[in-house]
Every structure is written in structure tokens, then in C-alpha cells.
Amino acid sequence: MAVVLVFAALAGAVAWRLFQLLKDPRNPSQRSVSLCLACAFASYLVAAPVGPAFDTVADPGWGKLLQNVLLLAAAYFVMCVYLYAASDERTGRRRARLEGLALALVVGVITVAALAAPRSALTGSVRTADMTVVQVSVFYLTAGLYLLYALAAASYWTRRYARMSQRPVSTGLWVAAVGLLGGAVVCAVNAVFVIVRWQGGAIPKALTVGVALVLMAALTLVAFGFTYPGVRARLAAVRVWREHRRIHRQLEPLWRLLCQAYPHSVLTLPGGTWRDRRRANGVHRRYHRRVVECRDGLVQISTRLQGCGYEGTIVDLARPEVLAQQLRAAVDTIANGAPVSDRAVPLAVPENGDRDTDVQQLVALSQALRSGARSGRETRC
């Protein structure tokens, strides 16, 4: 179950970050986060029992080497996120190159150790590896110490940025910082395990399994923390999308009535490319277009409403159901050529002038029209 959870968390995080990277490919921090999660996911795939069997197509141990190189690269890219964010692009690039040299040195050391190790010495897991073999101990100890350094540094920078950020970004950063710190602790413990086993000591199986579970939990927290702000923003956008779609449908009775009276008030869609037309037909644009068309139609039809006083105010039309009846009567008079007043009357306009309240007034009027039409049909039946 834990393996499936880590796989799902990393896969979702990678997919989300790659989507974000496509929208802003020149952002170095965005690119570093995406590469970090992609390397971590690839390392997990190599290490998974259902992953590619590299040892069957290459010399034994190449799969373990590739897994650790990808994991080291993931830790390096975590640091790069903050190296670019903490300074200008030129300084961040220079510091990233220095850290890249350190990574290259570490990769070189573990590669030499893997090549010099006896055949099949690195085919098993770290728990079953023979640490009395010097090459194997150097392999795991070097990789573990670099991960300890990279994760501890990344956790420090993440906590620092979490204190300066606001929610929901700070929440995600704090979660990621806990995950990075947990990973650093696991690396420190594993380094101690390697030294103890190098000297011929033994580590209880339950302890090594517990450390592995902590590492899985830490990776899950890191993936969740880095993707949480974006996922939350996307969920909020989905809620707004659904709200605009619902209001667009609720305004249809009012919109149809006003378009029947003033068809020229319907805004024309722009031409251009297929992409421009698709964007113009999006839910948000259709929502705003319908609100504008309804408001414009009300301004025009207000000159034909009955019940206007000398000062151009509507008499007893504050209730939506009363105004709905007057609107139907006004639409009927348009076809009969009734005289038009020289003054427009404010209809369903909120006192505070707030946009959301304005839309709510239009929705209430539209719903009154729908209810009136339904009542009329029931009466005729």
C-alpha cells in the first residue's frame, strides 16, 4: 500500500509540474522543481520491483547505480530551486554550476565504486548489501552523505521561504520542509548503518524497514508540499468555473427575453484563429458576455417600462417578480410601437455597486421570469 501511495503521489506531482512548466518554460525555479520530481519519479521506477530490469540487459549493479544517480540529481535540483530564487538569474546560474560540479564529483566516485565492486555486489537492496566490501560501503556512504547535505540545505531554504510566504504557498512549503528534513534524517541514519555494517556489525531488520517507511513518507510529503499550492489554486479555479457556468444558465430566461426585444445587443464573437474562437467560447468569457448583454438590455428596455414617475424612478418595482411582469409587458409593447421615454431607468441595480451583488440581482430577476413562465404554463393547462 505504501509503495502504491508513493507511486501515485510522485506520478501526480510530476504530471502537474510538467503542465506548469509548459506554461512557463523559461522560469529556472519552475524548471528545477519539475526536474527534481521527474528524477525522483524515475529513480523510484528503477528501484520498484515492477520497474525496468536493468540488470537483465546490462552488467549487474547498473540498475542500482542509475537509481542512485537519479536520486542524487533530484536532490541537486531541489537545491537549484532556491539557488535561482534567492538571487538574480546570473548568480543563481553560477551557484548552480558550482553545486553541479560537486554532484558530478559524487557521481564519479559512486560510478568508480560500482565498476570496481565485485560482480552482483550491488544487485540487492541496501538492506541486504554486503557492506564489508569496501566498494559497496563507499558507494552507499558517498551517495548518502551527499543526499544528507542536499536535503538538509533544501530543508533550511524551504523553511526560510515558508516564513516569508503566505497561505497556501507557506502551507505547501512547510510540508515540503518536513519531508526534506525527514529525508535528511533518514540519510544520516543510513550513513550510521553503513559504517556499523562496514565494521562487521548487524542492524535489526525491523529498524531498517522502519527507516525505509520513513523515507517513503518523506518523499510523499515533498511531492505533496511542492504541488499543494498549485493544486489548491486549480481547485479554486474549478469552483469559479462551476459558479460561472451555473450563473450563465440561470441568466438564460432574462437573456432570451432581452435578446428577443433587442437582438442587436448580443455581442458578436471575434474571428481569427481556432484558438481565439475557442477562448471566446470559454465558460468565463460567456459568463461575462451574458452579464453585459443582460445589463445592456435592461438599460434599453427601461425606457419602455410603465410606472415611471416624473423623476424617472420605477414605482414599486423593487421586487424581482413585479419587475419580471413589467419586463414581459414592455417586450410586448415593442412590437406594437409604443412610445419610448427619453430617460432610462436603473433596473435591478445594487445600492453598493458591487459586481457580485449586481449579478445576484440579475439572477434573481431571471429566476422570477422562469418562475412566472412556469406558472403561466400551469395556469393554461
Question: pLDDT for 248-267, tens place per residue?
Answer: 999 999 888 888 888 887 77
CA–chain centroid gap for 373, Å, is 43
Q: Which residue has the higher pLDDT, 152 or 378?
A: 152
DSSP class of residue 268 equals: P
* Number of neighbouring beta carbons within 10 Å of residue 292: 12
Across residues 176-197, what is the average pLDDT?
Answer: 90
Across residues 3-28, what is the average pLDDT?
Answer: 70
Please tell me the pTM assigned to this model. 0.67
As annotated, the residues of the chain forming the CATH 1.20.1070 domain(s) are 2-242
CA 210, 107, 179, 32 torsion: positive or negative? negative
Q: What does the pLDDT read at residue 378?
A: 46
Question: pLDDT for 128-164, tens place per residue?
Answer: 778 888 888 899 899 999 999 998 988 888 888 888 8
Q: Do the Cβ atoms of 174 and 162 come closer than 8 Å?
A: yes
Q: Which residue has the higher pLDDT, 56 or 22?
A: 22
pLDDT of 65 over the 50 cut: yes
Distance CA 147, CA 186 (A): 10
DSSP class of residue 254 equals: H
Question: pLDDT for 108-130, tens place per residue?
Answer: 999 998 888 887 777 777 777 78
pLDDT of 101 over the 90 cut: yes
Distance CA 140, CA 198 (A): 11
Distance CA 142, CA 323 (A): 79
Return the C-alpha cell found at 224.
Answer: 505533496
Q: Topology of 2-242 in CATH?
A: Rhopdopsin 7-helix transmembrane proteins (1.20.1070)
